[in-house]
Structure 1
Amino acid sequence: MLHIVGGNVYDPANGVNGEVRDIYVSGGKICDGECALGVGAGVGAGTGQRAEVIDARGMVVMAGGVDLHPHIA
């Protein structure tokens, strides 16, 4: 379980434009609030697993921002 805390989230497909949000990832997929229950304390929802927590306050969180300006020669 991964918990990304307090990032400025951009998700144009869902109309999210820089809102401060927490994001939870489980099994390689973004999950909803149901899977996030109990994660605030760093424990994965009902699994007893510790969640990796990334403090993203003041940072941008978005999908697909991989090497947007390559120089190929």
Structure 2
Amino acid sequence: MRAYTAALTSGARLPLVGRGEALASLQAGWQRALAGRRQLVWLTGGAGIGKTTLIEHAAAHRGGAAGSVN
């Protein structure tokens, strides 16, 4: 618990656990968008399930590609 609290207060990104398939889907969608194909992502889930963390990881790992995540 202490490491978790330290990560939260330091601004460090928490590890992404059990979201490999969802992350891969977001990354594939990003690649399709870069290729000129429109994409829409609808991300839902209960409070605290990791929606923001998933999006932060996807944005951080988009390979330096130009564009924005809104």
TM-score tier after normalising by the smaller chain length? under 0.3
Higher helix share: 2
TM-score (norm 2): 0.22
Higher relative contact order (CA 8 A, sep 6+): 1
TM-score (norm 1): 0.22
Higher strand share: 1
